[in-house]
Structure 1
Amino acid sequence: MTLPSAHDVALAAERRSAGRLLLAYPLLTSDGPHADLFPLIRRHADWLTKRFQHVLGYRLLVDTSYARLFKAGLGAGAGHQLERSSGTAFTPRTYACLALALSVLVTAPEQVLLSQLVADIKAAAADAGVEWEDAGRTAQKRTLAAALRQLVDWGVLTETEGSVAAVEQDDSGEALISVDREIARAVVSGPLAQSRSGTDLVRRAADPGFGGARTYVRRMLVETPVVYLDELTDAERDWLRTRQRREAQAFSELLGLETEIRAEGAALVDPEDELSDLHLPGSGTLAQAALLLLERLVEQLRPEDPGHPATGGRLVVGVAIPDGLMEEVLAELVAAYGHRSNWKRDLVDDPPALRASVVDLLIRMRLVARDGSLRSAGRGLPEGYDEAVPEGRAVTDVAGTRSGSGSGLMLLAGAARYATHVTVRTAPGSTSEADGQQELPL
């Protein structure tokens, strides 16, 4: 066997670094926070363009001053939320301000006064029939300021003199803003000209096109923490079952990601822990409370051995969390660790707020789901879906494996990897790729 040369190894490493950077930051500028790595993207632009298109169906545009990876999205309800610098998620009104600002900036002059930009945005809101709150209200000013700061972060706006924060001040607040119209036009990745509404735009953007099941599942693997079989259509499940080990090489080559394959689904893991915007384990009150909660939920709710589907057992993707259990465990954790670990007082003193924030994190991590959320939001149910799976039936069609009752929340199989003790089983006598998958049972 011929070993790769030092040049080949260095070339592959450069391409992976550029691919990882684009996946984490789909809009990059030559003078932005990652300016030192921008030449790497320019150098390997042709290879990256072909690989992203082939593997994920993503279009890559590399210009002299910016690079834009046009991600397709996964459908309604499956996006990653934008956040203010405080960590607060964007509200619908903030997104509206962002969209209105972009509609103005694509034809704006290269430099504009902040007061004129605000006036143009208000005029665009009136044309679009969007209600604009009284300009004197503090909340509206903060919302608009958050949208403009996001555009500064993306490189659409540059604060030449003053700051967009002046929009929060009295009417005397002013700033000179430079506009990059090309980047403004590249922000929206969906087919605007073909879309009749925002909902239609999201749907069209998520369409995998000729790639079909292959492209959609690859996007799911890359863009979500874990993919469960019961979220996929029959065609998507069949493709994943037969191709997942061979796909591991493509993900490793392009992005340096390792593939974890389990009976319940699959996940891509980043050894460098850089590509995820969600971290568990992690620092801070929510991450610590969520990790401790998961350990206890898995310990209490892990079902007795259901066997492996390959040997006639029933695949368990999720189990119901009983009413009151999560509140009870969180109360115990607050008593044991809340004060000793300097958890945030506003969460420690407000149990409902702590529960809501922890549940939100675990849902985004795809370790907990709302009961009945069989499929990814906005995608519908598989054909032939049967809500009641007969007791004892071997689950080859996994539809319905999350059905349950209780708190309205389900603990999903991926949570088991955070348990104190993890048991990994392989079906006895399994030799094929599809039958020899490990199970990480709840």
Structure 2
Amino acid sequence: MDAARALLARPLLTAAYSEELALVRLHAPALRNMFKTMLGYSLIVESTFARLIKGPVSPDGPSRPARRPDNSTFIPATYTHLALLCAALLAPGTGEQTLISALIDQVRSDAATIGVQIGDTLPERRALVTAIGHLIGWGVLSETDGTATGWGERHDEALLTIHRAALPHLLARPLSGMSHPDDLLASDPQLVDQPRRSLRRKLVENPLVRREDLTDAERDVLSRERSELTRLLAENFGLTVEVRAEGALAYDDTGSLTDVSFPGSGTVKQAALLLLAELIDLRQPTAGTTAALGDGRVVPGATATWDEVDGALARLSAQHGRAWGTTLVDQPDRLREEVVMLLSDLGLATVTAAGLVIHPAAARYRAQPHAAPLTRAARRLVDQLELEMP
């Protein structure tokens, strides 16, 4: 189970994670069979790396963009830099090590051939460093002498070591034979007729699986085979399955598997948590409350209008602005955008033209009042009453 969890948390394991890689290599045959049978994943295990290929996420799942060190998402230009870097590293004649200046020269040359200009201004160099840092985080590159940041800020030279064996396996499927980039995101037709496997994948991949997003066959599996599903996810991945009328959740008690911790630190997560409580108190939803998504579907949940969302965030900003800082408090539109995106990614809310539909699962994050501790005299009185009861 520890090896499987390591792969779920980091689908590409290189020598930088030597203990986890050694564990995966030790159990490689069993892991390959388990992942293929349980989830339809492919596992590649070599001497220097292990790559779990999950395949395209379900269309109803949250987006998981690449992120910068400050947690902001990659912009299209950064993805372009990342793709060009990978192409340059795979170019014939590239050795096991390269100077960062030579690598960037190759990237700029390749970019020019497709009509993309990458200059040498400080912002452009920092954008390239962001993409390089992403590859370092994956373990595809390592800084042997000097740093990418040093080159980005001052043109300091750096020597990078390339882990070439893992490079061709960064994409979930080879580019050969593809006619359009969307082919990379095409759904797996083999899962359509295997509701057990597709349901397990959704529970493993998504923070929350809403019942309205399940197929009829998946809902049938969830209803009929709940005990077996719970056992399999617990034994293989250490996940706890929680099923409610509105959907299901497979969560990790340790929090080590999730890529988005919630609740958590930071302005956006704190604002999102408090916003849920504000909107639930405002709307006062009860069992059976439903909301329209705007596409003809009516689902469990309560709709808060955008004016109500903005008003709640304004009150929270005024109350917590000193702790949150001015970066987002002074940009209410940006604060709303990031908070709403987080709640949508977690499956706790759905964006509609009319407002934000809050899923019933959000109630689990509502603050619960705690009773004040009893005084010593009160505790003695309670004990005395308990003794006197027949």
TM-score band by shorter chain is 0.7 to 0.9
In 1: Cα distance, 2:57 partner to 2:189 partner: 8
Q: Does 1:195 align with 2:178?
A: yes
Classify 1:92/1:315 alpha carbon distance in 2 versus 1 (closer, same or farther; 3 Å): closer
Identify the residue that residue 262 of structure 2 maps to in structure 1. 280
1:49 equivalent among 22, 27, 32: 32
Show structure 1 runs of 5+ residues with no match: 1-15, 309-313, 372-404, 423-442
In 2: Cα distance, 1:250 partner to 1:48 partner: 14
1:220 equivalent among 202, 205, 225: 202
Identify the residue that residue 106 of structure 1 maps to in structure 2. 90
Classify 1:160/1:326 alpha carbon distance in 2 versus 1 (closer, same or farther; 3 Å): same
Q: CA RMSD in A?
A: 2.5
Identify the residue that residue 225 of structure 2 maps to in structure 1. 243
| Structure-2-length-normalised TM-score | 0.85
Stretch deviating more after TM superposition (75-84 or 326-335): 75-84
Q: Does 1:163 align with 2:110?
A: no
Measured after TM superposition, the shift of residue 232 of structure 1 is: 2.5
Show structure 2 runs of 5+ residues with no match: 291-296, 370-390
Measured after TM superposition, the shift of residue 37 of structure 1 is: 3.0
Identify the residue that residue 397 of structure 1 maps to in structure 2. none
In 1: Cα distance, 2:101 partner to 2:260 partner: 37
- Could you list the per-position Cα deviations for residues 257-315 of structure 1 after superposition, in whole angstroms to 9, with x for gaps in the alignment? 0001011111101111111121222122222221111112122224344399xxxxx98
- Letter aligned with residue 344 of structure 2: I
In 2: Cα distance, 1:329 partner to 1:416 partner: 17
- Could you list the per-position Cα deviations for residues 156-195 of structure 1 after superposition, in whole angstroms to 9, with x for gaps in the alignment? 112222222244246x532222212111112111242232
Contact 2:289 2:302 in 1 (8 A): no
Classify 1:106/1:210 alpha carbon distance in 2 versus 1 (closer, same or farther; 3 Å): farther
- Letter aligned with residue 24 of structure 1: A
Stretch deviating more after TM superposition (296-305 or 61-70): 296-305
Contact 1:264 1:315 in 2 (8 A): no
Identify the residue that residue 364 of structure 2 maps to in structure 1. 417
Contact 2:145 2:158 in 1 (8 A): yes
Q: Show the 5 A alignment for 1:119-198.
A: 119-127=105-113, 129-133=114-118, 135-169=119-153, 173-198=156-181
Classify 1:257/1:185 alpha carbon distance in 2 versus 1 (closer, same or farther; 3 Å): same
In 1: Cα distance, 2:87 partner to 2:73 partner: 22
- Letter aligned with residue 26 of structure 1: P
- Letter aligned with residue 49 of structure 1: R
Equivalent position SS for 1:267? strand
Contact 1:73 1:202 in 2 (8 A): yes
Classify 1:119/1:207 alpha carbon distance in 2 versus 1 (closer, same or farther; 3 Å): farther
Identify the residue that residue 115 of structure 1 maps to in structure 2. 101
Stretch deviating more after TM superposition (115-124 or 230-239): 230-239
- Could you list the per-position Cα deviations for residues 225-281 of structure 1 after superposition, in whole angstroms to 9, with x for gaps in the alignment? 101122233333333333333211111111100001011111101111111121222
Measured after TM superposition, the shift of residue 316 of structure 1 is: 4.3
In 2: Cα distance, 1:139 partner to 1:355 partner: 27
Contact 2:11 2:52 in 1 (8 A): yes
Percent same amino acid among aligned pairs? 35
Contact 2:62 2:347 in 1 (8 A): no
| Structure-1-length-normalised TM-score | 0.75
If each structure's helix is expressed as a fraction of its own residues, which one has the higher value?
2
Equivalent position SS for 1:81? coil
In 2: Cα distance, 1:337 partner to 1:118 partner: 44
Classify 1:353/1:210 alpha carbon distance in 2 versus 1 (closer, same or farther; 3 Å): closer
Q: Show the 5 A alignment for 1:355-394.
A: 355-371=336-352
1:337 equivalent among 317, 320, 323: 320
- Letter aligned with residue 157 of structure 1: L
Q: Show the 5 A alignment for 1:257-276.
A: 257-276=239-258
In 1: Cα distance, 2:298 partner to 2:222 partner: 16
Equivalent position SS for 2:305? coil
Equivalent position SS for 2:57? coil
Classify 1:102/1:211 alpha carbon distance in 2 versus 1 (closer, same or farther; 3 Å): farther
Contact 2:143 2:158 in 1 (8 A): yes
Contact 2:126 2:153 in 1 (8 A): no
Identify the residue that residue 24 of structure 1 maps to in structure 2. 9
